[in-house]
């Protein structure tokens, strides 16, 4: 009897202490590193009341969630079985997540999605509840909208002070740009504050992010337009020329009519309008003939190779000094450029004041005067001379037993050469007053104006670059 009692007590202790030793973690081996922590083993026995309590608790939770009210729960030996229906997949996943939070072995999710008409009606009821919620939010939306309108209106009010912005900015174009920037900033500020009042900060971030992406795409698509706009702004600040200036922009020559927000308008020397995009003007090489009133003209004349080039230089220089429209300072100059095949080329240079003499007229009169002076002094102005040489190709063949009787031709009668008459040199006109018909046409064009879309950005009160 005692032996049997000892055996029974030992077996009882083994049953009690066995699970405790079973759940103790094994000592890590020092020879190999641990790969992963062992999973917690399940209990060999389970209290049936624990399953009941878990089942009751899950049902209570599902009862408080409208989308999970039709879900059935059953717990047995730590296994939770979910059945029934739910309106959507999100509700099904939510039910499984809630059940897995309890001390259970696993969750068998057999919930089906409810696709019945009643479910659709329930969704409509949910939508009606949301609409009702939005109706309750209407006063706050109205206040937020009112705040946004007030802030935007204040920005438009500040931008409307065009006279003030024109006084504090260099030109009207920049003043308009500043006014537009103020309007944009205040409108965006009003929207930000309104959305913040509604608690829609995430929506604001998404909108601004999308606007940034769209802005980058539009920037690439409208690169030429933006480049022209920026060039117009820079030209309005730099003021590279004045109205009616005679300029050469790359290979395009004319007088400036106006500088607009899109193009520079010239009147060519033959009276035509020429519009050059400001992006091209900004990058171009600009030669302004009007900025400095003193301008030099130059021309070349060739004298005979046997003539004295120094004497020709001196004579031409003195002739230029004698012309009333040629300035004494800087003095006229004559340079030997090159010795050609049949002449010596001399370059003559002189300066004029464009306010009193026309450059084209002055150059034309100066060429005529120097040419006449050289010819009167006996200098030759030769044309190109070519020397031809004929060589015999072969030795003449001897003539045998051939008598040649060549009758000598009768001498041609002498023809008297006509007497050369001295060339009559017309008096050189000294009228070299500036040609101003193009300048007058430009002034008339500026007075007529080009419309509001072609506002002139040239400002005569500001210095040029």
Q: What's the pLDDT score for residue 7?
A: 52
Task: Report residue 247 CA to chain centroid gap.
Answer: 27
Q: How many CB atoms lie within 10 A of CB 187?
A: 17
- Least-confidence region, from 211-220, 259-268, 300-309, 330-339: 211-220
Q: What's the pLDDT score for residue 144?
A: 86
Q: What's the pLDDT score for residue 393?
A: 59
For the cut 80, the answer to whether the pLDDT of residue 133 exceeds it is no
SS3 283: helix
First to last CA, the chain: 123
- Least-confidence region, from 13-22, 183-192, 251-260, 389-398: 13-22
Q: Is residue 336 exposed (0-12), middle (13-18) or buried (19+ Cβ within 10 Å)?
A: middle
Mean pLDDT of 145-164: 89
Q: What's the pLDDT score for residue 100?
A: 87
For the cut 60, the answer to whether the pLDDT of residue 2 exceeds it is no
pLDDT tens digits, residue range 241-270? 988 899 999 999 999 999 988 899 999 988
Distance (Å, whole) CA 245 – CA 232: 18
Q: What's the pLDDT score for residue 425?
A: 41
For the cut 80, the answer to whether the pLDDT of residue 123 exceeds it is no
Q: What's the pLDDT score for residue 43?
A: 62
For the cut 90, the answer to whether the pLDDT of residue 225 exceeds it is no
Of the chain, the percentage scoring pLDDT greater than 70 comes to: 73
Q: What's the pLDDT score for residue 53?
A: 86
Q: How many CB atoms lie within 10 A of CB 408?
A: 5
Q: How confident is the model at residue 89 (pLDDT cuts 50, 70, 90)?
A: confident
Domain 48-115's class?
alpha beta
pLDDT, the chain, mean: 77
Q: What's the pLDDT score for residue 51?
A: 82
Q: What's the pLDDT score for residue 128?
A: 66
| Beta-strand pair 79-86/112-113 | parallel
Q: How confident is the model at residue 174 (pLDDT cuts 50, 70, 90)?
A: confident
Give the Å distances, CA to CA, from 289 to 241, 247, 269, 326, 355: 10, 6, 13, 17, 12
User: Is the N-terminal amide bond of 377 cis, ω within 30° of 0?
Assistant: no
Mean pLDDT of 369-391: 82
267 with 444: CB under 8 angstroms?
no
Architecture of domain 294-376: 2-Layer Sandwich (3.30)
pLDDT tens digits, residue range 52-79? 888 888 888 888 888 888 888 888 888 8
Distance (Å, whole) CA 95 – CA 102: 12
- Least-confidence region, from 5-9, 108-112, 341-345: 5-9
Q: Is residue 206 exposed (0-12), middle (13-18) or buried (19+ Cβ within 10 Å)?
A: exposed
Residue 73 φ/ψ, nearest 5 degrees: -125, 135
Give the right CATH number for 243-290+440-454 from 1.20.272.10, 2.40.110.10, 2.30.30.60, 3.30.70.100: 2.30.30.60
């Amino acid at each position: 009897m005692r032996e049997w009692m000892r055996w029974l007590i030992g077996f009882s202790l083994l049953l009690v202490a066995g699970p405790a030793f079973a759940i103790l973690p094994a000592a890590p081996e020092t020879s190999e590193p641990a790969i992963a922590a062992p999973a917690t083993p399940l209990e060999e026995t389970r209290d049936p009341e624990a399953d009941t309590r878990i089942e009751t608790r899950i049902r209570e939770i599902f009862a408080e969630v409208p989308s999970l009210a039709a879900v059935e729960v059953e717990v047995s030996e730590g296994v939770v079985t979910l059945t029934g229906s739910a309106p959507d997949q999100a509700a099904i996943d939510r039910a499984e997540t809630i059940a897995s939070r309890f001390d259970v072995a696993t969750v068998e999710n057999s919930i089906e999605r409810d696709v019945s008409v009643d479910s659709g009606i329930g969704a409509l009821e949910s939508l009606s509840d949301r609409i009702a919620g939005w109706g309750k939010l209407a006063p706050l939306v109205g206040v937020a909208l009112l705040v946004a309108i007030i802030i935007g209106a204040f920005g438009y009010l500040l931008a409307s002070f065009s006279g003030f912005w024109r006084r504090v900015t260099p030109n009207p174009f920049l003043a308009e740009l500043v006014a537009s920037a103020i309007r944009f900033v205040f409108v965006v500020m009003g929207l930000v504050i309104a959305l913040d009042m509604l608690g829609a900060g995430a929506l604001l971030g998404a909108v601004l992010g999308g606007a940034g992406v769209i802005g980058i795409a539009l920037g690439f698509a409208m690169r030429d337009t933006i480049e022209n706009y920026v060039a117009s702004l820079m030209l309005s600040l730099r003021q590279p020329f004045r109205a009616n200036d005679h300029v050469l922009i790359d290979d395009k020559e004319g007088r400036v009519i106006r500088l607009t927000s899109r193009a520079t308008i010239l009147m060519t020397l033959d009276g035509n309008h020429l519009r050059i995009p400001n992006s091209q003007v900004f990058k171009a090489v600009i030669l302004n003939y009007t900025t400095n009133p003193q301008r030099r003209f130059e021309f070349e004349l060739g004298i005979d190779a046997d003539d004295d080039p120094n004497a020709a230089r001196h004579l031409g220089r003195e002739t230029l000094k004698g012309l009333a429209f040629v300035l004494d300072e800087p003095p006229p100059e004559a340079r030997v450029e090159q010795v050609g095949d049949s002449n010596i080329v001399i370059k003559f240079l002189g300066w004029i004041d464009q306010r009193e003499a026309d450059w084209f007229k002055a150059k034309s009169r100066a060429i005529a005067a120097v040419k006449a002076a050289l010819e009167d002094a006996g200098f030759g102005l030769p044309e190109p001379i070519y020397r031809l040489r004929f060589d015999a190709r072969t030795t003449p063949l001897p003539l045998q037993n051939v008598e040649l009787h060549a009758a000598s031709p009768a001498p041609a009668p002498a023809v008297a050469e006509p007497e050369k008459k001295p060339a009559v040199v017309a008096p050189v006109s000294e009228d070299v007053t500036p040609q101003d018909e193009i300048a007058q046409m430009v002034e008339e064009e500026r007075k007529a104006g080009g419309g509001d879309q072609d506002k002139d950005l040239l400002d005569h009160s500001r210095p040029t670059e």
